[in-house]
Structure formats: C-alpha cells, structure tokens
Amino acid sequence: MATRQTRTLARFMMAPSVILLFIWMIVPLAMTLWFSFQNYNLLNPGNVSFAGLFNYKFFLTDPAFLQSIWNTLAIVIGVLVITVVGGVALAMLLDQPMFGQGIVRILVISPFFVMPPVAALVWKNMIMHPGYGVLADISKSVGLKPIDWFAHYPLISIVIIVAWQWLPFATLILLTALQSLDEEQKEAAEMDGANFANRFWYLTLPHLARAITVVILIQTIFLLGVYAEILVTTNGGPGYATTNLAFLIYRTALLGYDVGGASAGGVIAVILANIVAIFLMRAVGKNLDK
Amino acid sequence: MARAVSTRRKIGFTIAAWAVALMIFFPILYTIITSLKTEPEAIAGFSLIPSGTLESYFAVQSQNDYFKPFINSVIISVGSTLIALVIAIPSAWSMAFSPTKRTKDVLMWMLSTKMMPAVGVLVPMYLIFRDTGLLDTRLGLTIVLTLINLPIVVWMLYTYFREIPGEILEAARMDGASLFNEIVHVLTPMAVPGIASTLLLNIILAWNESFWSIRLSAANAAPLTAFIASFSSPQGLFWAKLSAASTLAIAPILIMGWFSQRQLVRGLTFGAVK
Amino acid sequence: MGNIVLKKVSKSFGATTIIPEIDLEIEDGEFVVFVGPSGCGKSTLLRLIAGLEDTSAGSINIDGRDVTSEQPAKRKLAMVFQSYALYPHMTVRNNIAFPLKMAGEDKAVIERKVGDAARVLNLTNYLERRPGQLSGGQRQRVAIGRAIVRQPSAFLFDEPLSNLDAALRGTMRLEISELHHQLKTTMIYVTHDQVEAMTMADKIVVLNAGNIEQVGSPLELYRSPKNLFVAGFIGSPKMNLMDGATAAKYGASTIGIRPEHINISTTAGDWKGTVGVAEHLGADTFLHVHTDVGTINVRTGGEFVVSHGDTVFLSPDLAKLHRFGPDGSAL
C-alpha cells in the first residue's frame, strides 16, 4: 500500500524513535569502550591515563569474574528451568474446569507486579529468615532446625525469589497459548487412542513451542540483569557467592570508584549479552515470522 | 466444549488450583497481614490473624516520609510512559502501515537494545548524569525510563496497529485527511484499547524498574524502588513497618496489574501469543 | 465534471508487472465498470486513479489536469471500499461529515449536507448509531453517503457489493444505478461479477492480466466479443466453445455459441446428444447435453420438458455463431 509520499513521511515519523534509541545505544557504549582503555578512578579524577588492556586483564583475572559468570548463568538457567517447567504444569492445571478461575488467575499473576526490592525483602525477612521467617516457623513446628537460607544456600535463595517473580509471567503466557489449542484436536487425538502422556508430548508441547520460545527470550532479557534482588538481600555475598556479572561491575564501579575497571567489565558484559542475544534473536525471529 | 465435566472432577481441580494459587500469592498475603500487626506481634511466630492496627503505616509515613517517593514514582512512571507513547505512535504507524523489507529488522534491533545489559553502560550514564546535573532528578530518571521502555512501547503499538484495516486509513486519505488528521482522528481513536493497555503495562514496568531508579537517584528523586531498597539496612528488622511500606509500594501497581492482566500476555509477547 | 484520461499508465511492484501499459478514456458522467477475474489488475487500476498507489509510468488526467503525482485528497474523487472502511468509533453522522470537516466546511453547511445525504440514502433514523450497529446494506449506504457529500468529480467503487448476500446485492445494484441517474456523476466500478457489469455499466472495460481486452457497452461485448477471453467472460450461462474438427467445419480454429442461441429439438438437428443434468429454473431450463462434439449447455424455455438420458438434437443459430482465429481473436 501507499504512495511514495506516504512512504517518505513514514520514514520521517519513524526517525525519532530510531534516532533516540540509536543514541541511547551508541553514546554510552562508546564511552564505556573509551573508559575501558583508561586508568580512571573517581577518587583520583585528575590522573587519567591510557591503560591499554590493563583493565581487561585486571577484570578478567579477578577471581570474582569467573564466579560471577557462573552465578549469572546459574540464575538465568535456574530460573528459566523452574519457570518453564513450573509454568507448563501450572498452565495445564489452570486450563482445567474449576470454580473461581478468574480469582485464581489474579492470585497467580500477582507476584509479577511486585517490584523486585519488595519481593526480595519480603522473601528474605518474612519467609526465609532463620529466626522469624514462615519457613523457620514450619521447621520448628515439626521439630527440625530452621535453615539459614541466605547463609547456606545464598544462590539458590536468589534463584527461588527471582523464579517466584517470573513464574506468573510464564504461566500466564503458556496458559493463553494452551487455551488456543483446538478442543477438537484434543478429542480427535483421544479418539485415535492417544493417552494423556502421548497427547502431552505430541500435541500440547509442540503447540506450546512458540510460547515457550517467547518466554525464554523475554525472561532472558531481564534475568541477565538481575540486580535489585541481590542488592537488598545478600549484597553479592557471602564472599562472591551471589555476585553476578551485573553486580560485580556495580561493585567495581561505585564501590571501588574504578571507572576503567568497571567499563572493561561493562564491555565484557555487553559482548556476552550479545552472544546470547544473537542466539536468541535467531531462534525467536524465525518463530515470530510465522 | 462438547463434553460435560463431572462435578467431582471439577471440585478436584478447584482445590488443587486454589492451593497452588494461594501458595504463590502467600508472600504477598502475609506481607499485607503483617503490615496490620504491631512489631512484637510480627516476630511472635506464624499467625494469619493480625490485631488490625494501622500504627506501622503511620510510622512509615512519619519516620520515612513515604509520600515523597510515591509521588516520584508516579511522576517518573507516568511521565516516561507518556513521552514514550508520543514518540512511539508515529513510529508504530509507519511500521504497521508502510512497512518495508527492513521493518522487521528495525523492530528486532529495537528489541535488541533492551538486551544490552544496563550495567554495561552504568559508568558513562552515571558520569553523564553527574556532569549534566541530571543525577537524582525526576527528569533524569524519566528520560532513562522513556528510553528503556521505548522499544517495548513501539512493539506493542505496532502489534495493535497492525490489526487495524489499512482500508480505513485509505478512506480517510480519500476523504481529504492530512496525515496528522488521519492519525489524530482515525487511527488513535480506533487504537484506544491497544494504546490503553500499552500505557498500563508500561507504567507497571517503569514503576518496578529497579536498576536505574536505584542507582541514579538519592534523597531527592528516589522513587519507591529506591525507598524500599533502603529498608535492606538493619532497620528492615522492624517487620511490621517493612510490610506496611511494601504494601504501600506495591498496592497501586498490583491493582492496576489485575485490571490489565488480560492484555499483558499479548502486550509483552508482542502479539506472538494471543 | 469528471473526465478521466489514462495515458500509457503502467504499474509494477519491484520486478512484478501488474499493469503493462494502459490507455483509457472515461467520459464525464459515464458509469464505467472494470471487470475481470481476480488478480487481473482492476483494483490496482482503480487505486492508481484514486492516488492510493503511484503509477510506475504514464500520466493520469482528471478534467484536463495532470494529477499523476497529486495526493488522493486533492483529486476530488470519492471512494467506496470493499470493506466499506467506515470509521468504527464515529457515529453515522460523523462518518458522513468527516470529509466535509477535513475540507474545513462550516458547521451549518455540514449539518445541511449530511442531512440531505441521509435523506437520499434513507439513513435519517440511523444518524446517531455507530457502524457496528448497522446491517450490511446500511453500512454500504453510509459509505456511499460519505462519498456523495463531497460532491466529487467521480466516484470510485471497489467491489462494493461483494460482502453482501445475494438478495441485498440485487437491491444495492439498483440503488447505485438509481444514484447514478440522479447525480449524473462519473462512476468507476470494479467487480469480478459480470452480472453487475452487464446490469449497471454504460461502458465495460474487460481486464485480463493487466491488459484491456475490450472496451464497450454491455451489448457490444455480448454481441461481438473481440476475443475468446471476453466471449468466455461475458454472458451467463457461459458461451459454449468448441475447437478442432468441429470448428474447422466453420472455417475457424475455435467457435463459440451462447446457450440461448441453440435450437433444441427431440426429432432432428445438427448435433445429436443425450441430456445430462437438467436445471429447471421455472422460466428457463438449462440443459447439459452430452454430444459427440462435447458437452454443450443449452438454455431453453421452462416449458420444454426433457429428463436425464433423453435423446435431443441441437442446432446452433448460425447468425449468432462466433468464430475465432488461432490467436483467439474474433474473425
């Protein structure tokens, strides 16, 4: 549709978004890249000099670096597994006939609307606290010693909190996808003698494939940058046990005042994110074209 | 559905679903309950029945001034969403109604800017904000959140616009409408439901954004995310107060979320799942 | 005024040519129908005239003015779309008033013109409704109302009746023809339905694969189709076409004879055959007769009673036999 004139106009109207996003992407990135080759500490701002690859060497050889990569992956993969598997199960449950489905939906989706610092603080203090948390109360009532979650299983605790925030999102998307599965298809499969497991494997799961891809894509975007949950619960500790890449860079930058080092970390984070992104965009772009 | 469902089956599923739903909702529920307890009650062990006191709420307001971060949150989230809409509507229009071979790529690229880890550009952003005086201002945070959510706003509007038949816009063009009139009098009113859910969802996202809003603000512009994060220090041990502050911080958005949950799926999956 | 001239107009999208090159002249006040099978380029041609698409080459003149690169709004044309394209968020009144508002007319004038249009189209009682609350025929009339208030120099209709059921289509056909007689404004009407073309047009333009096959009045096309395509497309039921030895006897490579130009007898005739399906419509009977020269459709009076399996003899009316050469054009 449309004539040359409308097409030209269309290009103009697209320009503000594209230009703004381009600036937003390129300017800070270029600055990060520049700083990453400088010796630049905010405590000593007058003394800036070219550092070559020193910052990268410094950041990459930091023992905390490998740990933070591992932690980042653990959070992303842990949460994805929990939310996708749990989401499929929960969506299938919610897809069944029941009383009060609307309210159930509202209850299930609620955690998604809770801001990360609140979610983390509530879990840390009200649920997982070894002295006064609900889990401790339950342990005590059955005569067990309460678990000190953040001392003994810090990373798992973070994964649980983040998974709690994202499980509703996955569930809701998968439920919506599930509801678009043709009822007659299910009945036809039943007539063809497929049992529950067969129907799930050959009918339901392929039908959900697209929704699962979308869930993975969107959650990954957000999970790579988990920050507030760590900040308000463990502050990256104990030691570096819960420091992910985002948190490590934050520590280097704003706690160590080391602009150069943090920028090198930033560049590395961007590169890693791009590797993940290219991978994901390929998969999803293909999927979204349909 | 053609099949009659036995009541027993239905009751079984009802119990199972409610049990799971309540478990998921429990942390929120328990926070609300605890916010209605006194401090000694709050640490006295598990109890679902509060004394119903509002003293924690008064304490939060008088000791920490809840009101100021609340206003900051409102201004920043609503402001950034409105600005993003104004920028995004024309873009989404052109992508939906005058697509080129590259439209899909542009959309993907926009989304990919969201993949860039915020922390990767934390340092320059911090320095830019410090040097331009935007640090700890509502304006600064509004700008950042506008840019962060712009790709999602464009995407969402694009998927909604694509469902409007092009013939109607052509009819407007035949009727002598300029492009401006076409967008203001025809497209926008027709897209109101889509624009409304985009608005709602992005206010939610902006309200809950917890990296830039914490890092680029201090006493002045701190929104609720930063306000709550400050409770992670030892004073967080006052649990009834923490609960009251948390309840206040999430209540408005939780209620908005309940209303928009049906659009949420379409919106956040960019129409890929309906 | 509404005189439209297309000179060497062509249109292609990338490497695909939709319209190779067309010359066409439309007189003021004419009712012109573009007809052809789907994908023949008739809608594209209409959109080129409307200005919703750019021409790839050539020029379009309206009332002597070159409008080739003008915006649709400036061409003083009005269009009725296949989907009606009503504004769903506006009342009928505002839908009809929209073009006037865009033209900056003042309120009293708009009020009067909308009122007039509503009276002509029987919409007075529906002015405060929204399109969603109207039936298909009423929506169609609103779309027409929106077109007539502007007093355009020509109306463009893009398959306006294809979304209506058969009965309503008949009524709307009459209404549009009636409107044309009242307004005496040029109308260009696109359809794939040759019945609409035959019943409404002053002039029919038959299109095929972007080319104009023939231009003429309905009866001209019926009586003397220029080629096989037009012969096969115009007329219902379709003309019988035969080739090979049968055609050679008449000195042509293909011959055509319309079902209504065949005499049928139970005793004697040129072609002997047996009756297959007989469709009794009351006034007419359509017979599918299997003969040695192929299956031939015959239209006969409703009183002619035969049934499946009967033997009949067919003789074409030689004065109305069409003969075509090897390239498909009429001899």
Residues of C in contact with A4 (CB under 8 A): 54
Of A132, A173, A262, the CB nearest to B265: A173
Instruction: Search chain C and give the residue with CA nearest A4.
Output: C54
Q: How far apart are CA B47 and CA A134, in angstroms?
A: 9
Q: Give the closest-approach CA distance of C84 to chain B in angstroms.
A: 8
Q: Do A1 and C53 touch (CB under 8 A)?
A: yes
C91-142 pLDDT, tens digit per residue, is: 999 999 998 988 888 899 999 999 988 988 888 999 999 998 998 888 988 9
pLDDT at B2: 44
C-alpha A28: how far from its chain's center?
Answer: 22
Which pLDDT band holds residue B1 (cuts at 50, 70, 90)? very low
Of B167, B178, B190, the CB nearest to C88: B190
Question: In terms of C-beta density within 10 A (0-12 exposed, 13-18 middle, 19 or more buried), how is residue A269 classed?
Answer: buried
Residues of B in contact with C73 (CB under 8 A): 173-178
Q: Do B174 and C71 touch (CB under 8 A)?
A: no
pLDDT at C222: 92
pLDDT at C39: 83
Domain CATH number, residue C243? 2.40.50.140
On whether both C34 and C81 belong to a single domain, the answer is yes
On the question of pLDDT at B271 being above 70, the answer is: no
Buried b (16+ CB within 10 A) or exposed e, C9-20: bbbeeeeeebbe
C235 and A CB contact within 8 Å: no
C89 and B CB contact within 8 Å: yes
Q: How far apart are CA C100 and CA C120, in angstroms?
A: 17
Q: Give the closest-approach CA distance of B227 to chain C in angstroms.
A: 43
On whether both C110 and C245 belong to a single domain, the answer is no
Q: Where are the domains of chain B?
A: 66-230
Residues of A in contact with C51 (CB under 8 A): 3
C269 in any annotated domain: yes
- Order across the sheet with C16-26: list the strands: C16-26, C4-13, C57-62, C65-66
Q: Do A24 and B128 touch (CB under 8 A)?
A: no
Q: Do C78 and B174 touch (CB under 8 A)?
A: yes
Query: Mutate which of B100, B167, B175 to test chain C, going by most C C-beta atoms within 10 A?
Result: B175
Q: Do C82 and B185 touch (CB under 8 A)?
A: no
Residues of B in contact with C142 (CB under 8 A): none
Query: Mutate which of C49, C79, C148, C149 to test chain B, going by most B C-beta atoms within 10 A?
Result: C79
When divided into structural domains, chain C yields a total of 2
pLDDT at A81: 95
C86 and B CB contact within 8 Å: yes
Which chain B residues touch C if contact means CB-CB below 8 Å? 165, 167-168, 170-178, 181, 185-186, 189-190, 192
Residues of C in contact with B171 (CB under 8 A): 79, 81, 85-87, 146
pLDDT at C38: 85
pLDDT in tens, chain A (290 residues): 457 777 787 788 888 888 888 888 888 888 888 888 887 777 777 777 777 777 788 878 888 888 888 998 899 999 999 999 999 999 989 888 888 888 888 899 899 999 888 898 889 888 888 777 888 888 888 888 888 888 888 889 999 999 999 999 899 889 888 888 777 777 777 777 777 778 788 888 888 888 888 888 888 878 888 888 888 888 777 878 888 888 888 887 777 778 888 888 888 888 888 887 777 777 666 655 54
- Walk me through the domains of chain A, giving residue ranges and CATH numbers: 35-289 (1.10.3720.10)
On whether both C125 and C214 belong to a single domain, the answer is yes
Of A90, A112, A245, the CB nearest to B257: A112
Please give the average per-residue pLDDT across B245-251, as a whole number: 88
User: What is the count of residue pairs from A and C with beta carbons less than 8 Å apart?
Assistant: 11
On whether both C181 and C278 belong to a single domain, the answer is no
pLDDT at C206: 93
Residues of A in contact with B170 (CB under 8 A): 1
Instruction: Search chain B and give the residue with CA nearest C150.
Output: B175
Instruction: Search chain B and give the residue with CA nearest A285.
Output: B108
C51 in any annotated domain: yes
List chains touching A (3+ CB pairs under 8 A). B, C
Residue C307, CA distances (Å) to B99, B133, C297, C314 in order: 59, 96, 15, 15
Of C191, C212, C230, which residue is a domain's last? C230
Range(s) of the domain holding residue C172? 4-230
The residues, any chain, with a CB within 8 Å of residue A25's CB and separated by 6 or more, are B113, B116
**Model ipTM?**
0.84
Residues of A in contact with C53 (CB under 8 A): 1-3
B70 and A CB contact within 8 Å: no
C60 and A CB contact within 8 Å: no
C72 and B CB contact within 8 Å: yes
Mean pLDDT rounded to a whole number for chain B:
83
Query: Mutate which of C76, C98, C148, C151 to test chain B, going by most B C-beta atoms within 10 A?
Result: C98
Closest CA to A282 of B270, B112, B221, B145: B112
Q: Do A25 and B242 touch (CB under 8 A)?
A: no
Of C230, C262, C288, which residue is a domain's last? C230
C133 in any annotated domain: yes
Task: Tell me what percent of the residues of chain B surpass a pLDDT of 70.
Answer: 93
C53 and A CB contact within 8 Å: yes
Mean pLDDT rounded to a whole number for chain C:
89
Q: Give the closest-approach CA distance of C82 to chain B in angstroms.
A: 9
Three-state SS at B20: helix
On whether both C60 and C83 belong to a single domain, the answer is yes
Closest CA to C61 of C27, C36, C29, C35: C27
Of C73, C81, C89, the CB nearest to B176: C73
Domain CATH number, residue C177? 3.40.50.300
Of C194, C214, C230, which residue is a domain's last? C230
Q: How far apart are CA A253 and CA B125, in angstroms?
A: 12
On whether both C166 and C96 belong to a single domain, the answer is yes
Q: Do C82 and B190 touch (CB under 8 A)?
A: no
Residues of C in contact with B181 (CB under 8 A): 102
Task: Tell me what percent of the residues of chain C surpass a pLDDT of 90.
Answer: 34
Of C79, C83, C88, the CB nearest to B174: C79
Q: Do A4 and C54 touch (CB under 8 A)?
A: yes
Residues of C in contact with A2 (CB under 8 A): 52-53
List chains touching C (3+ CB pairs under 8 A). A, B
DSSP letters, chain A, are ---HHHHHHHHHHHHHHHHHHHHHHHHHHHHHHHHHTEE-BTTSTT--EE-TTHHHHHHHHSHHHHHHHHHHHHHHHHHHHHHHHHHHHHHHHHTS--TTHHHHHHHHHGGGGS-HHHHHHIIIIIIS-TTTSHHHHHHHHTTPPPP-HHHHSHHHHHHHHHHHHHHHHHHHHHHHHHHTS-HHHHHHHHHTT--HHHHIIIIIHHHHHHHHHHHHHHHHHHHTT--HHHHHHTTT-STTTT--HHHHHHIIIIIT-BHHHHHHHHHHHHHHHHHHHHHHHHHHHHHHH-
Residues of A in contact with B3 (CB under 8 A): 187
On whether both C217 and C310 belong to a single domain, the answer is no
Instruction: Search chain B and give the residue with CA nearest A94.
Output: B17
Regions of chain C with pLDDT less than 70? 1
Q: Do B117 and A126 touch (CB under 8 A)?
A: no
Query: Mutate which of B121, B157, B207 to test chain A, going by most A C-beta atoms within 10 A?
Result: B121
On whether both C254 and C225 belong to a single domain, the answer is no
Torsion of CA B60, B224, B251, B234, to 10 degrees: -50
Which pLDDT band holds residue B220 (cuts at 50, 70, 90)? confident
On whether both C58 and C38 belong to a single domain, the answer is yes
Q: Do A17 and B150 touch (CB under 8 A)?
A: yes
On whether both C103 and C194 belong to a single domain, the answer is yes
Q: Do C87 and B190 touch (CB under 8 A)?
A: yes
On whether both C127 and C175 belong to a single domain, the answer is yes
pLDDT at A290: 47
List chains touching B (3+ CB pairs under 8 A). A, C
On whether both C221 and C259 belong to a single domain, the answer is no
Instruction: Search chain A and give the residue with CA nearest B120.
Output: A266
Domain B66-230 falls in which CATH fold?
A: MetI-like fold (1.10.3720)
C329 in any annotated domain: no
Residues of A in contact with B13 (CB under 8 A): 93, 96-98
A49-70 pLDDT, tens digit per residue, is: 777 777 788 878 888 888 888 9
B172-219 pLDDT, tens digit per residue, is: 888 888 888 888 888 888 888 888 888 888 888 888 888 888 888 877
pLDDT at A286: 64
